[in-house]
Amino acid sequence: MSIKNINTLAVTAGINKDAHHGAVVAPIHLSSTYALKGFNEKRQFDYSRTGNPTRALFGETIAELEQGSVGIVTGTGMAAVHLICQLLTPEDTVVIPHDCYGGSFRLFTHLAKRGQFKLIVIDQNDQQALTDALAQKPKLVLIESPSNPLLRLVDIEEVTKACHEVGALVAVDNTFLSPALQLPLTLGADIVFHSTTKYINGHSDVVGGVLVTKTQELGETLAWWANCIGITGSAFDSFLALRGLKTLPVRIKQHQENALQVASFLKNHSGVDAVYFPGFEDHAGHQIAKKQQSGYGSMLSFEVKGGVEAVKKLFDNLSLFTLAQSLGGVESLISHPSTMTHAGMEIADQLEAGITQSLVRISVGIEFIDDILADLAHGLEQSQK
Ligand SMILES: *Cc1c(COP(=O)(O)O)cnc(C)c1O
């Protein structure tokens, strides 16, 4: 029986596959090395940087969920981004969105400064800018949808089609939605990647990454590089991330239910100037979200009335929300992109990307909704005093 349902795929990964002891849950294989059967007689695994059973199971499971061929587990999400850069030479051009994850922005701009490739930074919803960038015949185009922290959406299918016409590879950062809500490979992308630190692990206790390719060939090239440069993830982290993955669909369900209520609450609050949430009909990307996502996710951002002083008062008066970077864990987190996640970007670049001093980002957790709303209500009331 071939199973396609994501809830079942996530739960059944590695279950009852242990031929040796019949362990129901797949064990953690911590051994760094594997004995050969005899002279020049290798088993499936020989050395854990190259391949490890626990990591392989996690990678195969994500590849299955993303409907791709090869899943490569990396030590961090940034390692997955860096792995993609191994495909580039100094003659190649890369196109990235102006509002991509701060760490990705920093990596691409600094590697470009060192001459490792040419870089074009654009707003991918600006048709002219996209056409001009593609006229340069880029080797790689990075898409991040929804973007961080303003939840801007890019039509993955349409942009990918245009990229393929000029021979560019398309890599999509799917961290904000997870395979439970968006499947970029089915929309045409060549590579999808995640910071598994976020929704996939979901418990804020692992830093990790994963990358899935549509074709076997590209997957083998990148797996070769992952072993060569030594950025593969650990067995222990793979075990934890796989355990987290089992509840991904049910966590996402609760995250989304809560996020919808938080977004509506903020929209109607007098201390809030604007709310960025793709679930709203007046959000610029709402139609794209409806088309390519199976839910609106649980990330949102908003502008607090009164600028940075009001933001500080809001943070000082919250008790359920934790002021911290990161996202996608079961607990609700709040952050100030300008001084936190996007601090690696020059202020001018931040403003160009729409990141103001009064912008606040929330990762809505799965706590009881009334407690979440009460905390926000109290914080916002104090912020306006
Ligand atoms: C966190 C994050 C990354 C980087 O992942 P790490 O695990 O922190 O290295 C990349 N993209 C997005 C959208 C992220 O949120």
Whether residues 178 and 258 share a domain: the answer is no
Instruction: Answer yes or no: is 1 within a domain.
Output: no
**What total number of domains does the chain contain?**
2
Laid out side by side, the sheet with 169-173 consists of 70-74, 209-213, 191-195, 169-173, 140-144, 93-97, 118-122
Pocket of ligand 1 contains residue 48 by CB under 6 Å: no
Residue 18 pLDDT class (50, 70, 90 cuts): confident
Residue nearest to atom 7 of ligand 1 (CA): 77
Whether residues 262 and 192 share a domain: the answer is no
- Please tell me the distance from the alpha carbon of residue 96 to that of residue 56, in angstroms, as a whole number: 30
- Please tell me the distance from the alpha carbon of residue 315 to that of residue 317, in angstroms, as a whole number: 5
Instruction: Answer yes or no: is 295 within a domain.
Output: yes
Residue 69 pLDDT class (50, 70, 90 cuts): very high
- Final residue of a domain: which of 245, 275, 293? 245
Residue 84 burial by Cβ neighbours in a 10 Å radius (0-12, 13-18, 19+): buried
% of the chain exceeding 90 in pLDDT: 92
- Please tell me the distance from the alpha carbon of residue 294 to that of residue 314, in angstroms, as a whole number: 32
Whether residues 192 and 61 share a domain: the answer is yes
- Whichever domain contains 283, its CATH number is 3.90.1150.10
Q: Output the pLDDT for position 375.
A: 98
Whether residues 238 and 303 share a domain: the answer is no
Instruction: Answer yes or no: is 108 within a domain.
Output: yes
Mutational test site, ligand 1, from 78, 108, 152, 363, max ligand atoms within 8 Å of CB: 78
- Please tell me the distance from the alpha carbon of residue 196 to that of residue 205, in angstroms, as a whole number: 10
- Whichever domain contains 144, its CATH number is 3.40.640.10
**Quick one: tokens of 33?**
């090395």
Pocket of ligand 1 contains residue 198 by CB under 6 Å: yes
Whether residues 206 and 270 share a domain: the answer is no
- Final residue of a domain: which of 211, 245, 279? 245
Just list the catalytic residues: 49, 101, 173, 198
Angstrom CA distances, 203 to 12, 27, 132, 324, 351, stand at 19, 20, 42, 14, 32
Pocket of ligand 1 contains residue 292 by CB under 6 Å: no
CA 212 to chain centre: 12
- Position in ligand 1 atom list of the atom nearest CA 209: 7
Residue nearest to atom 11 of ligand 1 (CA): 101
**pLDDT at residue 38 tops 70:** yes
Whether residues 351 and 366 share a domain: the answer is yes
Whether residues 223 and 108 share a domain: the answer is yes
Residue 27 pLDDT class (50, 70, 90 cuts): very high
- Please tell me the distance from the alpha carbon of residue 373 to that of residue 265, in angstroms, as a whole number: 8
Domain region containing 166: 6-245
Mean pLDDT of 25-43: 96
**Quick one: tokens of 281?**
């009909």
The residues facing 18 across adjacent strands are none
C-alpha 239 to ligand 1 mean position (Å): 19
Whether residues 55 and 199 share a domain: the answer is yes
C-alpha 341 to ligand 1 mean position (Å): 10
Instruction: Answer yes or no: is 91 within a domain.
Output: yes
Q: Is 143 helix (H, G, I), strand (E, B) or coil?
A: strand
Mean pLDDT of 192-221: 98
Residue 40 burial by Cβ neighbours in a 10 Å radius (0-12, 13-18, 19+): exposed
Residue 352 pLDDT class (50, 70, 90 cuts): confident
Whether residues 318 and 231 share a domain: the answer is no
Q: Output the pLDDT for position 1.
A: 59
Instruction: Answer yes or no: is 225 within a domain.
Output: yes
Whether residues 240 and 254 share a domain: the answer is no
CA 382 to chain centre: 33
Amino acid occupying residue 218 = L
Pocket of ligand 1 contains residue 54 by CB under 6 Å: no
**Quick one: tokens of 252?**
């996402």
Q: Is the Cβ–Cβ distance between 59 and 208 less than 8 Å?
A: no
- Final residue of a domain: which of 198, 218, 245? 245
Q: Is the Cβ–Cβ distance between 303 and 273 less than 8 Å?
A: yes
C-alpha 77 to ligand 1 mean position (Å): 5
Residue 341 pLDDT class (50, 70, 90 cuts): confident
Pocket of ligand 1 contains residue 148 by CB under 6 Å: yes
Residue nearest to atom 2 of ligand 1 (CA): 195
Pocket of ligand 1 contains residue 146 by CB under 6 Å: no
Instruction: Answer yes or no: is 379 within a domain.
Output: yes
Instruction: Answer yes or no: is 84 within a domain.
Output: yes
Give per-residue pLDDT as tens, 92-137.
999 999 888 889 999 999 999 999 999 999 999 999 999 999 999 9
Instruction: Answer yes or no: is 70 within a domain.
Output: yes
- Please tell me the distance from the alpha carbon of residue 317 to that of residue 379, in angstroms, as a whole number: 5
Whether residues 224 and 311 share a domain: the answer is no
Q: Output the furthest CA–CA distance in the chain (Å, rounded).
A: 77
Whether residues 140 and 178 share a domain: the answer is yes
C-alpha 164 to ligand 1 mean position (Å): 26
**Quick one: tokens of 129?**
């800018």
C-alpha 211 to ligand 1 mean position (Å): 12
Q: What is the pTM of this model?
A: 0.96
